[in-house]
Every structure is written in C-alpha cells, then in structure tokens.
C-alpha cells in the first residue's frame, strides 16, 4: 500500500499533467487559427 504522501504527490503531478495538456491544446488551436487566417488573407 503506497503512503499517503506518495498518493498526494501523484495526484498533484497528474493534475499538473492535465493542465499542461490543456495549455498544449490551446496553443495548437491558436496556431491552427493563425495559419487559417493567414491562408484566407494571402491565399487568394
């Protein structure tokens, strides 16, 4: 049975990973929108 401290650390790490995943997704979406806007404006 893992110690309570270990479980708390793991929960903190997992939560941090979830947050960084959201940040990566948001960054990816922003890049995608920027590229799409560039294509629309200069792709004619």
What's the pLDDT score for residue 9? 92
Q: Give the pLDDT confidence score for residue 16 in this predicted structure.
A: 84
% of residues, the chain, pLDDT over 70: 95
Model pLDDT for residues 1-44, shown as the tens digit of each residue: 779 999 899 989 888 888 888 999 999 999 999 999 999 999 87
SS (H, E, C) 10-43: HHHHHHHHHHHHHHHHHHHHHHHHHHHHHHHHHC
């Amino acid at each position: 049975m893992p110690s309570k401290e270990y479980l708390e650390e793991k929960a903190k790490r997992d939560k941090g990973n979830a947050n960084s995943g959201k940040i990566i997704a948001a960054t990816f979406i922003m890049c995608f929108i920027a590229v799409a806007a560039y294509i629309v404006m200069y792709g004619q």
